[in-house]
């Protein structure tokens, strides 16, 4: 069994639009177990740790700074989800990073439409509602940025407490 944890951030635009509950319920419906959740306004240092130097190397420092500014622009909800191959499941549910190309049925495809071109023209970070870790290793790193170990809860859903006896 490939049990994984992943970090999900519901960004300020998700909270501004009042759709955090809808987004969280989509993860619950597929059986993702919430093992950590909190609402906060990110400190700039925390946002900088999250949007690491690798982002600047891939997309440029200006883009990294816009993403940091976007993340600290209002409250966010940070979640840690656990489940079988949860990193891949969450990424599939979230959809493409650029909202205008995200497939219908994904979170970004159903709730966003902004393009990279628009964000670049306005010199803003891309408002795409949500962040999901890209790999199990990234998930572990990002969870440690946003959560202390004692903030994560170990629990078994009630349906896993029952086993069938073999005859």
Domain positions in the chain are 3-147
CA angle 119, 121, 122 (to 5 degrees): 65
**Is it the case that residue 158 has pLDDT exceeding 70?**
no
Tell me how far apart the alpha carbons of residues 97 and 94 are, in angstroms, rounded to a whole number.
8
**Is it the case that residue 12 has pLDDT exceeding 60?**
yes
The structure tokens listed for 7 are: 């970090």
Give SS3 for 62: helix
Residue-wise pLDDT tens digits, 36-50: 999 999 999 999 999
Among residues 153, 162, 130, which one has the least CA distance to residue 7? 130
pLDDT at 145: 97
- 131 flagged as catalytic: yes
**Is it the case that residue 167 has pLDDT exceeding 50?**
no
Residue-wise pLDDT tens digits, 92-115: 999 999 999 999 999 999 999 999
Q: Is 141 exposed, middle or buried (0-12, 13-18, 19+ CB in 10 A)?
A: middle
Buried b (16+ CB within 10 A) or exposed e, 71-94: bbbeebbbbbbbbeebbbbbbebb
Give SS3 for 150: helix
Segments in 12-157 forming alpha helices (H)? 12-17, 20-29, 44-50, 53-59, 61-71, 86-94, 107-111, 116-122, 136-146
Give the CATH class of 3-147: alpha beta
Tell me how far apart the alpha carbons of residues 37 and 35 are, in angstroms, rounded to a whole number.
7
Q: Please report, for residues 5, 79, 143, 154, the alpha-carbon distance to residue 157 in angstroms, rounded to integers and kept in the order given.
A: 16, 17, 21, 10
Find the catalytic residue in 50, 113, 131, 155.
Answer: 131
Tell me how far apart the alpha carbons of residues 33 and 86 are, in angstroms, rounded to a whole number.
10
């Amino acid at each position: 069994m490939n049990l994984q944890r992943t970090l999900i951030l519901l960004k300020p635009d998700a909270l501004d639009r009042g759709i955090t509950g809808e987004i969280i319920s989509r993860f619950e419906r597929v059986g993702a177990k919430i093992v950590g959740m909190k609402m906060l306004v990110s400190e700039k240092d925390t946002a900088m740790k999250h949007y690491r130097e690798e982002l600047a190397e891939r997309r440029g420092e200006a883009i990294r700074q816009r993403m940091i500014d976007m993340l600290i622009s209002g409250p966010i909800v940070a979640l840690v989800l656990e489940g079988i191959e949860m990193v891949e499941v969450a990424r599939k549910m979230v959809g493409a990073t650029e909202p205008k190309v995200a497939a219908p049925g994904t979170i970004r495809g159903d709730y966003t439409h902004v393009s990279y071109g628009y964000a670049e023209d306005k010199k803003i970070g891309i408002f795409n509602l949500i962040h999901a870790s890209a790999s199990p290793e990234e998930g572990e790193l990002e969870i440690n940025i946003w959560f202390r170990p004692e903030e994560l809860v170990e629990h078994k859903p009630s349906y896993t407490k029952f086993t069938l006896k073999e005859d």
